[in-house]
Each structure stands twice: as C-alpha cells, then as structure tokens.
Amino acid sequence: MNKNNIQKIFKTLQKANPTPTTELHFENNFELLISVILSAQATDISVNKATKILFPIANTAEKIFALGEIGLKKYIRTIGLFNSKAKHIIQTCGILIKKFNSVVPNNREALESLPGVGRKTANVILNTAFGESTIAVDTHIFRVANRTGLAQGKTPLTVEKQLLKIIPKQYLKDAHHWLVLHGRYICVARNPKCVECPIARWCDYYHVSLQ
C-alpha cells in the first residue's frame, strides 16, 4: 500500500475516534496488567464482568497473591483458561512483590519475565500504561492488516514489524487501539461490514470484492 493511502487511513481513523483506548476497565497499571493477562483468548466483556467483582476485593499484587490460586479461581472461573491464568497471575504477583516492589515494570524484558505475559501482552502494557508507540498484534489487528493490505504476514511478529515501519509517526501511539476497534466492530472475521467502513476506499479486500 502506498504512503498516501496509509496516511489517509489513519487520518480517517483519528477523525472518527481522536482518543482511542482499551475497552478493558481498570484504574491503575496493575489492574490493567491483570486484565490483559485474563483477556487472552477471552472477550473484554467477560474480563470486565469478572474484574468488576475481583478488583473491589483485591486490586494489588499483595491482595491477589493472598487469595492464592484457589481463591482467585472463584472470581475468574467464567473466563476461558481460568486454571492456567490463575496460576500465572499468582506467580506474577509474587514476582512483582519480590523483584519490583509491587510496581508494574515499564520495560519489555521485565514484563516478559512475568508468567502469562508474552510479547503481545507486554506491548499492550507498554502502549496503554506507558504511552509507548507499540503495536500488540492480536487476532483483530492481524486480520485488518492482512485484509486491508497495510501489512502482509503469516505471523503476528511479521505484521507487527511491518506496521511499526509503515505507520506515520504521528499516528503510531494510537494505531494499536484504532486497528483493534476497527477489527472488532467493522472489519469482522465473517462478513466484514465494508458498506459501513470509513476506510474501504483504500482497502485491498474491498477493491477485490468489487471485481
């Protein structure tokens, strides 16, 4: 895709949503970290329902660690993979307490040292909590990037690297959220809503579908 069309795409997305953010509900960086860990292979809606009950009871590393795996599972059992997530979260809380004074670290290496935190989760934290210009390529961004022609790749990392390279600097900090939301509500997996899409005129998929 040429630079002019890329510029138009993100200018249009910015105009429609000047201050995009995650749909996860959180009050601080620790709550965001726990929410993002829980959101793996789960919807933000399901995570928000669980944390609405969990966080008033335990919203610090110490309080969640004190719950233990069994105690934590009571709050998150409605979320997919809750057994492994409970284990990872308790381990993560222990590490945060011991190594990071219960503060969520602001660098990739430290974040990825936490159980349940991979590159995608680290990117979300770096972008949403610390304002870094990162792209966390989830299933939505992977689909939107490949479908529109913004970035072509068979792996999330390949797509991430391409997006970081081609997205204009002034749009890079918010691009993650724009692409996630676009994939969640417009460029959906089945029957994308091209008629409603504000960036369809610059989309490879849309032009092919017209032929």
- Which positions are catalytic? 120, 138
Q: Which of 32, 36, 88, 97 is nearest to 61 (CA)?
A: 97
DSSP 39: T
Q: How far apart are CA 207 and CA 191, in angstroms?
A: 15
Q: Which single residue is written with the structure tokens 């919807």?
A: 43
As a whole number of angstroms, the distance between CA 6 and CA 141 comes to 15
Residue 32: closest CA among 113, 115, 130: 130
What is the four-CA torsion angle of 136, 80, 46, 117, rounded to 10 degrees? -30
DSSP string covering 25-47: --SSHHHHHHHHHHTTTS-HHHH
8 Å CB contact between 123 and 179: no
Residue among 139, 122, 123, 128 nearest 180 (CA): 139
Beta-strand runs (E) in the chain: none
